[in-house]
């Protein structure tokens, strides 16, 4: 669920950037390409960070579910 929400937010951000460039003109991109490159690099690193956190959280949830299943089996015997 977290990953799909992150995808929606990312797509919205890219669309907002596209609209900004449409409004300012694409010549702005040619003049300030370093700034936009840095923005994309920061955005990509944040996306990777959140995807990694989402993966870690899902793994922890699966391991916790296994632990509680085993604990329930032990207490029933």
Structural domain boundaries, residue 63: 2-76
| Number of domains the chain contains | 1
* Whether 2 contacts 57, CB under 8 Å: yes
pLDDT in tens, the chain (77 residues): 566 777 777 778 778 878 877 887 777 777 877 887 788 788 888 888 888 888 899 899 999 999 999 998 888 86
Q: Which own/partner contact pairs does 11-16 have at CB distance under 8 Å and 24+ positions apart?
A: 13/43
**Euclidean distance between CA atoms 3 and 42, whole angstroms:** 18
User: What pTM value is reported for the model?
Assistant: 0.51
Residue 3 has what pLDDT?
63
> Cβ of 21: how many Cβ atoms within 10 Å?
14
């Amino acid at each position: 669920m977290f990953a799909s929400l992150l995808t929606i937010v990312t797509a919205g951000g890219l669309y907002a950037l596209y609209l900004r460039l449409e409004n300012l003109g694409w010549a702005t991109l040619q003049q300030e390409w370093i700034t936009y490159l840095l923005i994309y690099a920061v955005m990509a690193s944040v996306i990777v960070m959140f995807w990694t956190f989402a993966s870690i959280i899902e793994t922890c949830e699966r391991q916790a579910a296994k632990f509680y299943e085993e604990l329930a089996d032990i207490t029933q015997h």
